[in-house]
Structure 1
């Protein structure tokens, strides 16, 4: 939770790390730094109680306090709750300054004073992208403030839900992966739950319920409805013609966005669900270059998301591509809300989805006992219990190790005779030596049983030919993946498994069938449509590593430049 920085920083019981964190979150600018900022804005007087930014306001200015103080507060029907007081030399803003999304806190003057006011776009163009010293200070503060708001539940939305509800898990994941702070009330544990339901005139059948700061009450909302109500895409003009549209915000798509935007291209990223892709759901990645102690997939992709926005890329969430108009040399993408996005080039980074278990009732238990990600959110649901992880790849291995920190025992089920063909050696060693992990080879889940939530699981040992039923309520499945390319059929050439063929993998006959219009052959990563590229897990022949996905995203941008300058 935010606070008066000068009070916390002088608290003798705080550690040096805590004081350093506070200083990074609420730095005081030097005179020289303030003078550089002053060149881009205007100084003006503010009156006591004057509201500078209101919750829900768009196009938020940036303020530096030059005299007096400014309070950031959460509006209330009684008395606003002050979450921070900024004093001379300190500045306003958090992650919304980068995204252009609506304000989630109210800013008001706490007494008469003066402020330096800089328009948001001017701040981003002149400072964040062109002044390395100030950029580091501002970005560090913006990101840490948002992280603090998330950790303290200090956002502008209230989510009422049940930990046993698949829809609740979906909305929580959507808000969390999009970095939007919210307060969660668990209706199964909160003693005042019925009072809250009565207050907003909702029943148990309406769960989950999202209450926005605008007063809107959404009952069991779709991700699209959540994004629309909270204004997550409010700053984006989808009809604006772009140099490149990136479809998918996993590691390959975000890498493409970072490199394209940093090199001056007008970039829009379209994401049907949540940023991060499969990598974003990984509990820990330990073999990614530059992170010797590992990093969670969510943290890695969140940093990439901030980088893309820093350089000016825009990200449209919960609004996936539905159709690509294949009329070279100008392309149009239709997104799920019916909007048409014109663009000169396209980078397809839609990735792949884990396959469902081939069982009749699997869909009924998804989010209510069957999960395709193992993050801290899912781990909270099965604390102290025994769980099953299905899969023999690195994602399954990482999930198994991570879940031992929260669960009593992890049963790792693989269809093969072992792990050596599909998992990194360091993970195999860790799994074999971990006292909480039981590896069950040649074993498959053959039945899921329960009511509203998974209650029992049957697995079959194919070697012994025996079946066993256990009272287990949580299954994490991370088996082979299918590409998210159905929307491209009849438009670009796919292989027999639905992956996109690119570059030298395209045969002369396939190019002829696709009516390739140019004398040159397709560039590396280019599809059967000129200027349309495919990267990451959606591409035929991809290497299933985060590093290779990032590399492909950056390489594709180099070919985008060639197409644009042809």
Structure 2
């Protein structure tokens, strides 16, 4: 996108602002409505739900960023060009205003018509989707949005909000109270105090003091376009790799899909800095980028995704099945896929909660890496996630200490990661070692770890610890509805014994399908499933495979 100081029309990148051919415009016109526009007419208001897509036939549409005291011309759409970005797929609130700057004609399409077009026309789909994605990336890069985050790098709440907005691909402006010289003027303007950070200014008017992710999603209208009263063919709980794969395949095959996600797309994999052994990405891909692509892909095919809404109970004794949401609402469906994944285990330390988000982290993305540039850090864990984090953090950290309780990494980590760690002078692997104490006040400032072989305890002035050891399944909300294994993972298919099925009162003549749980038409995929291989590729494979069983159940 461009600003008013740049040559706007012909200088725009072709891929971000392509010009459709006359034949392509004609195909769009077959699906839409041609209408006249007047100079000054506002087609889309900033902050309002995005429901319309426009292709300019004649005239000009200005894309304008509207703030309290000024306007910024972001881009111009002329004949053959089109409006919109990724918010069109989700029906979320528009980040900009669309305004005709001269009289002309446009082709107007409803959001549902646009989705139908991109699903049916592969050529136009490629043009539109590429432009939408590039435009959103540019909005993020330039901080053009409806959110200003006033926070501190030492604040756990600030980190949580940054991660939430980043995971959900929402542009925001970040203001650090410890570094920005003009922050007091902003605080005075909105009558807030520095002690109240983090503060989120939503739409330039709503001031939220340390809002929860749910409150932030509500203010930004993330879920406004989703009808929760509708009985769906399929509800998927969790938008990690397995849940997103299931959503993509199910929606692309005509199944009416609703996904319920408690935070943002990606699950545990979304916190991976770089996945290098995933098929088709020889240079690697971050977990966040992989999740963002899958999230967009699912929306392209019509899947609806509830963000910052957690499932709290599955009613498995009635049909259609009902799922309680943490805001007090319910969603219903004929089939359910549970893809809630697993969470890293927490360090067994009494004061751990004091430092979570303020020195102790469970993900190693660019957000966390910015906090510890030039400093020493600790990575706890011996699996691939820990290895990926160590290699990634070593790019900017002064030294990375990798603590593992075992005698080595060969049994738990891929060989390519072991080699990289061995070859990197800034990474030190400390075997048979574990953290025994965390010290600090508002933020972690010292760590004590013990060498379990010698019994010696060392104290180090380290302020950043990344915990990536083991995992516990996210099944506590199921309330004994499904049969679990001894570790709390959901048993499916052949892992369900006859005794399991008898206890669960399995009602059908057939046995459970491969990924089906002890309740008919309820499936489990990914890291939450007993016997899963704990790999992103395995999760994606299960998410795609389970859709074939969903089809069978829906036809029974």
TM-score (norm 2): 0.98
How far residue 518 of structure 1 moved from its aligned partner, in angstroms, is 0.6
Q: Is 1:7 equivalent to 2:37 in the alignment?
A: no
Going from structure 1 to structure 2, the CA distance change for 1:353 and 1:150 (only over 3 Å counts) comes to same
- Could you say which residue in structure 1 is the equivalent of 2:344? 354
CA distance in 2, matches of 1:233, 1:208: 23
CA distance in 2, matches of 1:71, 1:324: 47
Deviations 1:408-431 (CA, angstroms, capped at 9, x unpaired): 111111111010010000000110
CA distance in 1, matches of 2:254, 2:111: 19
CA distance in 2, matches of 1:6, 1:380: 30
Q: Is 1:57 equivalent to 2:48 in the alignment?
A: yes
- Could you say which residue in structure 1 is the equivalent of 2:171? 181
Quick check: 1:2–1:148 contact (8 Å CA) kept in 2? no
Residue 543 (structure 2) aligned to one of 518, 535, 553: 553
Quick check: 1:352–1:537 contact (8 Å CA) kept in 2? yes
Q: Is 1:509 equivalent to 2:504 in the alignment?
A: no
CA distance in 2, matches of 1:452, 1:214: 30
Quick check: 2:314–2:321 contact (8 Å CA) kept in 1? yes
CA distance in 2, matches of 1:7, 1:29: 21
Quick check: 2:140–2:170 contact (8 Å CA) kept in 1? yes
Residue 104 (structure 1) aligned to one of 95, 98, 108: 95
Q: Is 1:167 equivalent to 2:179 in the alignment?
A: no
Quick check: 2:450–2:456 contact (8 Å CA) kept in 1? yes
Map of 1:98-177 to 2, 5 A cutoff? 98-125=89-116, 127-177=117-167
What is the SS of the residue equivalent to 2:400?
A: strand
Residue 25 (structure 1) aligned to one of 10, 13, 16: 16
- Could you say which residue in structure 1 is the equivalent of 2:482? 492
Residue 540 (structure 1) aligned to one of 496, 509, 530: 530
TM-score (norm 1): 0.96
CA distance in 1, matches of 2:28, 2:538: 39
How far residue 4 of structure 1 moved from its aligned partner, in angstroms, is 7.3
Quick check: 1:404–1:410 contact (8 Å CA) kept in 2? yes
Quick check: 2:44–2:50 contact (8 Å CA) kept in 1? no
Q: Is 1:233 equivalent to 2:256 in the alignment?
A: no
Quick check: 2:2–2:8 contact (8 Å CA) kept in 1? no
What is the SS of the residue equivalent to 2:358?
A: coil
Q: Is 1:341 equivalent to 2:327 in the alignment?
A: no
Residue 395 (structure 2) aligned to one of 398, 405, 418: 405
Deviations 1:371-408 (CA, angstroms, capped at 9, x unpaired): 00000000000111111111000000000000011111
CA distance in 2, matches of 1:556, 1:389: 35
Deviations 1:24-67 (CA, angstroms, capped at 9, x unpaired): 11100000000100112222222222111101222421111122
What is the root-mean-square deviation in Å for CA atoms of aligned residues? 1.4
Residue 282 (structure 1) aligned to one of 255, 261, 272: 272
Quick check: 2:68–2:204 contact (8 Å CA) kept in 1? no
CA distance in 1, matches of 2:43, 2:135: 19
Quick check: 2:8–2:75 contact (8 Å CA) kept in 1? no
Q: Is 1:456 equivalent to 2:446 in the alignment?
A: yes
- Could you say which residue in structure 1 is the equivalent of 2:423? 433
How far residue 2 of structure 1 moved from its aligned partner, in angstroms, is 3.3
Q: Is 349-358 or 198-207 further displaced after alignment?
A: 198-207
Quick check: 2:50–2:87 contact (8 Å CA) kept in 1? no
Going from structure 1 to structure 2, the CA distance change for 1:214 and 1:198 (only over 3 Å counts) comes to closer
How far residue 9 of structure 1 moved from its aligned partner, in angstroms, is 8.4
Quick check: 2:334–2:554 contact (8 Å CA) kept in 1? yes
Quick check: 2:87–2:94 contact (8 Å CA) kept in 1? yes
CA distance in 1, matches of 2:342, 2:537: 16
What is the SS of the residue equivalent to 1:118?
A: strand
CA distance in 1, matches of 2:191, 2:40: 34
Deviations 1:208-241 (CA, angstroms, capped at 9, x unpaired): 1111116211111000000001000011111210
Going from structure 1 to structure 2, the CA distance change for 1:328 and 1:79 (only over 3 Å counts) comes to closer
CA distance in 2, matches of 1:193, 1:340: 42
Q: Tell me the matched-pair count.
A: 556
- Could you say which residue in structure 2 is the equivalent of 1:260? 250
Alignment gaps of 5+ in structure 2: none
CA distance in 2, matches of 1:201, 1:5: 33
Quick check: 2:382–2:413 contact (8 Å CA) kept in 1? yes
Quick check: 2:51–2:110 contact (8 Å CA) kept in 1? yes
